[in-house]
A and B are shown apart, each in its own frame.
Chain A
Amino acid sequence: METIKLTIDKKLVEVEKGTTILQAAKKIGINIPTLCYMNLGDMNIENKPGGCRVCVVELEGRRNLAPACATDCAEGMVIHTHSIRVLNARKTVVQLILSDHPFDCLICAKSGNCELQSLAHKLGIREIPYQGEQSTYRKDTSPAIIRDVDKCIMCRRCEVMCNEVQTVGVLSAINRGFHAVVAPAFEMNLDHSVCTYCGQCVNVCPTGALTEVDHTNQLINDLADPEKTVIVQTAPAVRAALGEEFGLEAGTLVTGKMASALRELGFDYVFDTDFAADLTIMEEGTELLDRLSKHLAGDKEVKLPILTSCCPAWVKFFEHNYPEMKDIPSTARSPQQMFGSIAKTYFADKIGVDRKKLIVVSIMPCVAKKYECSRDEFKVDGNPDVDYSISTRELAGLIKRANIDFLSLPDEDFDHPMGESTGAAVIFGTTGGVIEAAVRTAYEVYTGKTLKKVDFEELRGLEGLRSATIDFDGLKLNIGIAHGLGNARKLLDEIKAGKSMYHAIEIMACPGGCIGGGGQPYIHGDSSIIKARHKAIYAEDEGKTLRKSHENPDIIKLYEEFLGKPLGEKAHHLLHTHYFDRKKEIFID
């Protein structure tokens, strides 16, 4: 490997050819401040438009300052990262950005997590000498995401996520000069666009320009209402990330503390979405075997592969982009919705509460779940199965607001009957998990044999597109896995073109799966956090006594007492859904 020697702040450094000044400086402990730059190395995602000009450095022999993020090192370079010229330029640039930024820091949803705020603090900015016109855009509220474009600093990170990673193509730079911002085309409303609400834009936005819709105040009111029974379900990926908000190392599992905290907050029953994940496997796994056996018997009507359907952003993505393939995904509802449906029937009956008085709240690593529970097909007489969903971030905020000392909470269990779950359900939280859970059950049901080893390493990993062949006692099952909608699109295009033959495919909209969901604690550019959460999920699985969904005793009981059998009539009615052609649904105001 060819190396280069250069001097940064009087320190000699040797780096590989192709290293940027920013990376080289970091190597010797010099952290040049950045704003628009984003490098999620573990996920192979990079944004370096060189637009904010915060990372400029002085390069001897160069006329103007150089952006450290976008300038490659060259032999013999002499660089100053904090000369008076650099410091003045950097400060002036941030002052300019602030001169066109609302001054509502104290009440901004991003306060405390805002990278612009931190930068202003770091640079010691105490005044904004340049005053003038400020941008005034309308606030755009959708079922899941709020756009407050006045706070957009044109870092373009959301654009990279929306276009390059997710290939959704909703957000891009519009207008010119002072009026340039990132917004949907023609500044249309998000809910009129093909936005999937995956929330990856929210995850990477350095300011409060993109945030999730806040449901915490509604929750506080419901919890205080004596007329209402409020129950909660928590998704698997939440427990692997919530601790980060309380200073715990990434990857620390806080399942027990989370259950305690929810009880402290005043929920009447603390349940687990994992229970519904096991239920999902029962339905989706059975559907897979049903479609597979019909296909093997030569039924031309049966379409394969079967695609997972637990991710609401993915569902909306194919409804917009591949409506002609809408009979391929499994009809099984997502765990969140299965939970809501069972809670408001089976469980409501059990405790004798009217469904309208029973408030079902979900804690999700996701913002699209907010949209999913608002879909009309998941309502009975206008009453939603899941009343609303709050994100991991919102839950952390609530715990802090309620003065709960999270770290000193005891570990508690979930309530019954909807709190029991298996390891198969836990791994729903990461890419590859749903299909592995399905394989564990489908294998045993199909072959009638007990698995010697439940870990299917070949299905695990963080590569965007993966495939594996699983031997079902002679039947070779081809499995595909995609996370990130851009990867999903690649896979779907292959299927559409008849280029690949898969029996089953798992698709998750967010890179990494739910652990990297749009509602998770901000990672501020540190993608190793996603890796740590990934490991934590498998650790939780390994620690479980039961690791196959069909062995969950409360699930077995649910079928016996209430549902009958998987894909049965009642199950069909309560646990399955249908999809819509949304190709022509976009409109411009």
Chain B
Amino acid sequence: MAQQIKMHLLVCGGTGCRASESDQIQASLEHELKVHGLENEAKVVTTGCFGFCEKGPIVKVIPDNTFYVQVKPGDAREIVEEHVIKGRKVERLLYTDPENKEHVADSKHMGFYRKQIRIALRNCGFIDPENVDEYLARDGYQALGKVLSEMTPEDAIKIIKDSGLRGRGGGGFPTGLKWEITRKSVAEKKYVVCNADEGDPGAFMDRSILEGDPHVVLEAMAICGFAIGADAGLIYIRAEYPLAIKRLKIAIDQARNYGLLGNDILGTGFNFDIELRYGAGAFVCGEETALIHSMEGSRGEPTFKPPFPSVEGYLGKPTNVNNVETFANIPPIINKGSEWFAAIGTARAKGTKVFALAGKINNVGLIEVPMGTTLREVIFEIGGGIKDGKKFKAVQTGGPSGGCLTEKHLDIPIEYDTLIAAGSMMGSGGMIVMDEDDCMVSVAKYYLDFTVEESCGKCSPCRIGNKRLHEILETITKGQGTMEDLSKLKNLSHVIKDTSLCGLGQTSPNPVLSTMENFWDEYISHVVDKKCTSGVCKSLMRYVIIPENCIGCMACARNCPVNCITGERKQVHFIDQDTCIKCGTCLEKCKFNAIAII
């Protein structure tokens, strides 16, 4: 019996929503549909990430585009009984506009989505990533067919070059040019590698694309293979992405079954197949030479370029390495043409960029905006501003390799070059927002902590220099820093940037330099005044008794775990600063507001 599906219930199956029981929501919805005998009329579909992770788990009802937020498994009955059966929206599950407090049913009217243009993410949250037919229904593999049947490899490269697409992994190298160089390298074997070793703290762009739309990457890799003259593709993916791996495996199998991968693709005589290679989660393996060494089974550490991978890469053969998001742009460019793509964005940066918004921002999630969108638009319109009405302080773009940008940078358009000029970088798209409660010295220390951990240790400035940078920052946050330490920080940062072998070391001091540049006062107050104005650095905090308020009740002294508070009953108490561990118990126990932090 042919199914008469009238309604689709899309349930987010991204890692974030999964962690909030979206798989149970899906099961409950299916159960309720069955109970009501509707399994042939409405269908539950697991999709990739919708992006609005702040409000997840998300359930979207098609065709009326109703967007339910923060759904729980227990809401399934109501959705089915009210929405599916009676056609009435479940108001309490709709998004509330923070400004006018009205319910918004359709996502396109939400601030979060209004300014977004989705190219790389166009299928995420729309199709079932485990079903190739759904990808095909969205023009899937049409670009591959077009390239194989209507174009020469040079034609395909020209379209990518003309589109102005630049690498989305960090460096921003022109993608078409990279393809062209690899095409021109003469060898009997070449490789297409997809870099899915996303490792920035807080970044999940690539993971979401792979989880939500795995076929787009496979299709793009095959197009790239045709363009450069390769018949083998490898996806280097970190083993910590089990869901993405699972979906990629399913997608590869399905594509092979449909003759979209393997030998004689679409009867054109073109052969191309893809295998997965797992990374152990080393950040440095995002650097392409380190990635290639890791795939070869060697120590994951970079080697100097040239030779570039496009000339001498995996197993010594010409290898084209692009990241996931870059590949996700390829099929739409082929389908819609280079002019269409080049019309989006700015003069020097075309198309869109996906960002993972995180930190002290109202709308944490995954967004895709045209190049040239300002930081203000991203943070305050799409991101909904700072959490709890606090004051914006800084935004870190480019992950640990980037820098902290401030209020004065909010109106610069986001592009590769403007961000570099401002002392940060595009990176792969991590964006962490900080508010007035964040101590910028601690922020720099946090990023250095990450780099020290992730350095491969091959070159001396990165191996030892970053360690020393971190130690100096540690000294400063402990209140033991000197002005000399600040000049050491500066010199060391410049030397590390100037002398390190790979991008990791060449950028790792950026958080230090940019916070010193933009928040010099904070460094001075840590070093000279021995104060952390944000109240983050414990060593710099002092709990003191306000004599006027202290009645000598002894509550603080009785509860102090290290007995550092002395004083007779009904006498003003005293906190011994040398013994105090800054646990805050006294502040909590005092009923007379007699304890203050200074």
Contacts and interface: CB of A to CB of B under 8 A. Distances in A.
Interface of A: 49-54, 56, 64-65, 67, 70-72, 85, 88-89, 92-93, 96-97, 99-100, 129-130, 132-133, 153-154, 172-173, 175-180
Interface in B233-282: 282
A176 B460 contact: no
A99 B466 CA distance: 12
A89 B460 CA distance: 12
B499 A89 contact: yes
Contacts of A175: 457
A152 B491 CA distance: 25
B409 interface: no
Interface string B541-564: 000000000000000000000000
Query: Chain A interface mostly helix, strand, loop or mixed?
Result: loop
A27 to B, nearest CB: 22
Nearest to B465: A96
B257 to A, nearest CB: 41
B580 interface: no
A49 B302 CA distance: 9
B411 interface: no
12 contacts: A50-B304, A51-B458, A64-B500, A65-B499, A92-B491, A92-B492, A93-B460, A154-B458, A172-B299, A176-B456, A180-B455, A180-B463
Nearest to B469: A130
Contacts of A50: 303-304, 459, 501
Contacts of A154: 457-458, 460, 463
Contact of A178 (B455, B461, B488): B455
Contacts of B497: 64
A52 B460 CA distance: 5
A177 B499 contact: no
Nearest to B500: A53
Contact of A51 (B282, B459, B468, B498): B459
B304 A173 contact: no
Contacts of B466: 177-178
Contact of A53 (B301, B457, B461, B468): B461
Given A89-B499, A177-B454, A97 B468 contact: no
B531 to A, nearest CB: 25
Given A52-B459, A154-B458, A178-B455, 7 more contacts: A52-B460, A64-B498, A65-B498, A92-B492, A93-B495, A100-B464, A130-B464
Given A154-B457, A177-B453, A96 B468 contact: yes
A89 B500 CA distance: 10
A302 B438 CA distance: 80
A89 B488 contact: no
B306 interface: yes
A99 B464 CA distance: 8
**Most interface-central of B282, B488, B491, B499 (chain A CB within 10 A):** B499
Given A64-B497, A65-B498, A99 B468 contact: yes
Interface string B428-472: 000000000000000000000000111111111101111110010
B301 A93 contact: no
B498 A180 contact: no
A65 B453 CA distance: 24
Interface string B484-506: 00001001100101111100001
A70 B303 CA distance: 10
Given A64-B506, A130-B468, A176-B455, A70 B463 contact: no
Contacts of A71: 304
Contacts of A70: 304
Contacts of B457: 154, 173, 175-180
B155 to A, nearest CB: 32
A49 B456 contact: no
Nearest to B475: A132
Given A100-B464, A130-B492, A49 B455 contact: no
Contacts of B459: 50-53
A132 B471 contact: yes
Contact of B460 (A53, A129, A173): A53
Interface residues on B, range: 20 to 34
A139 B491 CA distance: 34
A572 B452 CA distance: 61
A93 B461 contact: yes
Nearest to A35: B460
Nearest to B497: A64
A61 to B, nearest CB: 15
Contacts of B453: 176-177
A522 to B, nearest CB: 22
Query: Chain B interface mostly helix, strand, loop or mixed?
Result: helix
Nearest to B495: A92
B547 to A, nearest CB: 42
B173 to A, nearest CB: 14
Contacts of B299: 172-173
Contacts of B282: 176
Contact of B452 (A49, A173, A177): A177
Nearest to B302: A50
Contacts of A88: 491, 495
Nearest to A132: B471
A26 to B, nearest CB: 19
Contacts of B500: 53, 64
A427 B455 CA distance: 49
Contacts of A67: 304, 501
A175 B282 CA distance: 12
B89 to A, nearest CB: 53
Interface string B104-140: 0000000000000000000000000000000000000
A49 B455 CA distance: 16
B456 A89 contact: no
Given A96-B468, A172-B299, A49 B499 contact: no
Nearest to A178: B467
Interface string B191-234: 00000000000000000000000000000000000000000000
A163 to B, nearest CB: 11
A89 B468 contact: no
Given A50-B303, A53-B499, A132-B471, A177 B456 contact: yes
B455 A177 contact: yes
B464 A173 contact: no
Contact of A72 (B306, B452, B495, B501): B306
B525 to A, nearest CB: 24
A51 B460 contact: yes
Contact of B488 (A52, A56, A64, A129): A129
A130 B487 CA distance: 12
Nearest to A181: B457
Nearest to B471: A132
**Most interface-central of B454, B467, B488 (chain A CB within 10 A):** B467
A179 B306 CA distance: 28
A475 B357 CA distance: 82
A88 B498 CA distance: 11
Contacts of B306: 72
A187 to B, nearest CB: 15
Contacts of B488: 129-130
Interface in B276-312: 282, 299, 301, 303-304, 306
B170 to A, nearest CB: 15
Nearest to A101: B464
A180 B499 contact: no
B486 to A, nearest CB: 13
A132 B306 CA distance: 35
A359 to B, nearest CB: 45
Contacts of B461: 53, 92-93, 96
Contact of A49 (B303, B465, B468, B491): B303
A70 B501 CA distance: 11
**A-B pairs with lowest CB-CB distance, top 6:** A180-B457, A177-B455, A132-B471, A96-B464, A92-B495, A53-B499
Contact of B499 (A93, A172, A179): A93
B406 to A, nearest CB: 24
A54 B459 CA distance: 10
Contacts of B301: 173
